Amino acid sequence: MKSLDDLKKIRDAAQRKVTMRGKNEGTRILVGMATCGISAGARPVMNKLVEDIAEKDIPNVTVTPVGCIGECAIEPIVEVLEGEKRTTYCRVDVDVAERIINEHIIGGKVVQDNLIGKYRL
């Protein structure tokens, strides 16, 4: 099967990468993936984040699905963790996910429009 050869190529390429990602190093992006998040549309958001990071080849960023943080009314919720700094976005859709990657992760500027404080204080 041809696609298995592709997988081997991916493996060889990955082995050549000098930087190995540690679990808690770099930037972590958490996506709420409980029933509330899923039904509000967290799955396409998470896929968009992963695809953009892969496409733009952004190093040291991991995307992880997590459970419910109890604010189901404002799902999908995306949290960006950079060391001690925590930024919580809510009502994230695919367009906002793209902005988070471009403006926050690449540009270093928080996307104000979807911060959790806009909805809850």
Partner 1 sequence: MNELSLHILDICQNSIKANASLIQIIITEDTIKNTYIIEIHDNGFGMNEKTLSEVADPFFTTRTTRSVGMGVSLFKMAAEMAGGTFNITSKVNQGTSVIAQFEHNHIDRAPLGSIEDTLAILLMNEAAIDIYYKHICNHKEYVLDTREIKNVLNGIPLADYDVIMWVKNNIKEGITTIHKEEAR
Name the site residues for partner 1 (rule: CB under 8 A). Answer: 3-4, 6-8, 10-11, 13-15, 23, 33-36, 38-39, 43-44, 46-47, 50-51, 53-54, 62-65, 67-70, 72
Nearer to partner 1, 94 or 113 (CB): 94
Nearer to partner 1, 3 or 112 (CB): 3
Nearer to partner 1, 32 or 89 (CB): 32
Residue 17, classified by CB atoms within 10 Å of its CB into exposed (0-12), middle (13-18) or buried (19+), is exposed
Nearest to 32 by CA among 119, 85, 90: 90
Rounded to a whole number of angstroms, the minimum distance from the CB of residue 62 to partner 1 is 8
> What does the alpha-carbon distance between residue 90 and residue 94 come to, in Å, rounded to a whole number?
12
Q: Which long-range contacts (CB under 8 A, 24 or more apart) does 99-103 make?
A: 100/29, 100/49, 101/49, 101/52, 101/53, 101/56, 101/58
Rounded to a whole number of angstroms, the minimum distance from the CB of residue 120 to partner 1 is 14
Phi, psi of 45, deg, nearest 5: -65, -50
Nearer to partner 1, 43 or 110 (CB): 43
